[in-house]
Structure 1
Amino acid sequence: MNIELPDHFEYIGSCHCSECRKFSGAACATAGGLDGAAMRIVAGEAFISVYRKSESTELAFCRNCGSSLFSRKLDSGKCNVRLGILDDVPAQKPAFHIFTGSKAPWEMIGDGLPRFEAGPGSNRLEQESKGYVVIFKAKVAQMDAEYGVTAARMRERAIQVYGCTGFDSTMENGVEVSISHWPDLETMRAWKADTEHRVAQQQGRERWYKSYSVEIAEVICCATAE
């Protein structure tokens, strides 16, 4: 089988609907879309069999080896070519996931690409969660030696026992700000209920802080620079 394509797709993405999973035999079908007129079958056309999936879509596969080749929209002539059949690496990379609401329950999508619960025209865009942050702000009443010891112990316990991935604090003009990073809500709840942590919270209310606030935010994008 020899198929020639231009090295430019209108889009490349992964579909997780049940039909694509069954047709590809995998967790999803990753394909590149282009006008069917731009695709040329150089050799092996006699080995291509077509299955009419619906009034508007047909699926092509090789009846010699069984490989899934492409799907074709009969009304528009658009083709979605399965990237797995290509010998050469395309210049573009997959840019999104669609029908994630139908994905296999055991599949984990972790590449951070935009995810649509339904089709590409859907407005329901999911974001891959990068974890959570807890932002603690307090107006300081007084500080003493015990405060420093307690704060250091709580930071160490949060990281070593409960899986906190980062804990940073600063204080300016009598206001303390602490930001802690957590992988999931369950871990955060476990830390909140920790006995030593609850004792430290009580001491903070009674001795060290005039007032305080706690904010929780979900991280959906993370960028770093060296």
Structure 2
Amino acid sequence: MSDHRSTPEASPVPVPAHEPPYYAVVFTSRPTEDREGYGETAEQMEELVKEVPGYLGMDQATAPGGLSITVGYFRDLAAIEEWRSNQEHRAAQKRGRAQWYESYSLHIAKVERSHAFDRGTAAPPR
């Protein structure tokens, strides 16, 4: 799985298309001003979720003003449930509600169609 976060060395790339059906978990949040410990916890969660069988990847974006959208992709609902019920993740969720998030929303959607384009690997038109 490649890292889809922005880094000074590389531009972020989207998660590649997968064979449907699979699921997208969309987490949109507005932060509080108290971000103490958030970065470290987010990094830990990104590493931990990779251990969930059926985890396919993650895309993230933050808009000016702080609105953040994270989309996690999972092969099936069982993988999402495993991630949701992970005890370390549950502790991070609890701290997020108490300290880091002014508000958030969570949506789970079934992906029925998926394709991708990459200029560097695209076949020439026929």
Compute the TM-score of the two structures, normalised by the length of structure 1: 0.42
Consecutive unaligned residues in structure 2, runs of 5 or more: 1-18, 119-126
Of the three residues 48, 66, 88, the one matched with 1:174 is 66
Contact residue 30 and residue 66 of structure 2 kept, 8 A: yes
Cα 1:148/1:162, change in 2 over 3 Å: farther
Structure 1 residue runs of 4 or more that deviate by more than 4 Å after TM superposition: none
Q: Which has the higher strand share?
A: 1
2:34 and 2:49 map into 1 onto residues whose CA distance is: 21
- Give the equivalent residue in structure 2 for 1:142: 33
Structure 1 segments unaligned to the other structure (5+ residues): 1-127
Q: Partner of 1:131 in structure 2?
A: 22
C-alpha displacement of 1:143: 5.0
1:170-226 alpha-carbon deviations (Å, 9 max, x no partner): 211221110000000011011101100000000100111011100011011111112
Q: Which residue of 1 aligns with 2:44?
A: 153
Aligned residues: percent identity?
A: 33
CA, structure 1 residues 152+202, in 2 after alignment: closer, same or farther (shift >3 Å)?
Answer: same
Q: 1:196: which partner in 2? A: 88
The 1-side partners of 2:35 and 2:67 are apart by: 15
Structure 1, residues 57-100: CA drift from partner, whole Å, max 9, x if none? xxxxxxxxxxxxxxxxxxxxxxxxxxxxxxxxxxxxxxxxxxxx
Higher relative contact order (CA 8 A, sep 6+): 2
Matches of residues 19-58 of structure 1 in structure 2 within 5 Å? none
Q: Distance in 2 between matches of 1:160 and 1:222?
A: 24
Partner of residue 184, structure 1: 76
Q: Which residue does 1:208 correspond to in 2?
A: 100
Larger Cα-atom Rg: 1
Residues of 2 paired with 1:150 and 1:142: CA distance? 16
Please report the RMSD computed on the Cα atoms of aligned residues, expressed in angstroms.
1.6
